[in-house]
Copies of this chain bind each other. A is one copy, B any other.
Amino acid sequence: MPLEIPEVVIDRLPVYFRLLSRIADEGRTVISSQELGDELDVTPAQIRKDLSYFGRFGKQGRGYSVQRLLEELRLILGLDRRWAVVVVGIGRLGRAVASYPGFQSQGFDIIGRYDADPKLIGSEVDGTLVRDVAELEEDLKRSPVDIGIVTVTAPHAQEVADVLTRGGVRAILNYTPTRMQVPEGVELKHINPVIFLQSMTYHLKRRATEREDLRGRTSIAP
């Protein structure tokens, strides 16, 4: 496997994986880069380039084996094994995130829930006890964890990230607005709602423009 695959390519792999899972469910066994490109609206050349980072899957002119590609992506993305996850911050956000369907089935085991609120510590959420975040670092040293999901309030985010990385966690999903600093070698993903809103305003804007056009105007009031 080559050592340096661009992050943007890696970010597209789960999308390929989801699409191919659907295609396999439909009973199809072979797919061309043209068809994959049509589904995702990327050029066939882009598809071939992305997948070429991971070896030779397709035969010229014969398309990709859906099963073979799925299996390879499963291996590449690490979906062939199970990952231990802790959720830190068990307010609504933490509960919402932890109850998301697909964790278990995709190999993610939420093995710990942590909070700092004495009213929550010791209570049961989704069948597991909420533990004191003050014990998190010790717990991580006793039983290693792969991924931390941080759903605390913004002022506590960096502190929690520090505890997680000191405890050996190597991937953090940050739901807080805080820009975390993590040591090199720790993966960090930040969920930014503004990016999601921007792709929706495209549609709102377009419809508003169409309505204005119907009324015979040429510009839109700010």
B residues less than 8 Å from A208 (CB atoms): 78
Structural contact, B193 and A97, CB atoms closer than 8 A? yes
Is there an interface contact between A41 and B6, defined as CB atoms closer than 8 Å? yes
Shortest Cβ gap from A2 to chain B (Å): 10
| Inter-subunit contact B45/A8 (CB<8 Å) | no
Bound-complex Cα distance A100 to B193 (A): 8
CB atoms of A96 and B204 under 8 A apart: no
Asked whether, in the complex, the Cβ of A96 is within 8 Å of the Cβ of B154, the reply is yes
Closest to A213 in B: B1
Contacts A8-B40, A83-B204, A94-B92 given; indicate if A154 touches B99 (C-beta within 8 A): yes
**Of A25-33, A62-70, A134-142, A171-179, which stretch is located at the interface?**
A171-179
- Residue-wise, chain A 80-108 has the 8 Å CB interface mask toward B (1 for contact) of 11110100010111111101111100111
Q: How many copies make up the complex? A: 2
Scoring A83, A153, A202, A204 by chain B CB atoms within 10 A of each residue's CB, the highest score goes to A202
Q: Are B207 and A170 in contact (CB under 8 A)?
A: yes
- Chain B residues with Cβ below 8 Å from A203 are 10, 170-171, 187
Cβ-based interface call for A199 (8 A): yes
A206: nearest chain-B partner, CB-CB? B1
Q: Which residues of B contact A13 (CB under 8 A)?
A: 198-199, 202
Given contacts A76-B202, A92-B92, contact A194 B102 (CB under 8 A): yes
Does A166 touch B at the CB level, under 8 Å?
Answer: no
CB of A11 closer than 8 Å to a CB of B? yes
Write the residues of chain A forming the contact surface with B, with a CB cutoff of 8 angstroms: 1, 6, 8-11, 13-15, 17-18, 40-43, 45-46, 49, 75-83, 85, 89, 91-97, 99-103, 106-108, 146-147, 149, 151-154, 170-171, 173, 175-177, 185, 187, 189, 191-209, 220, 222
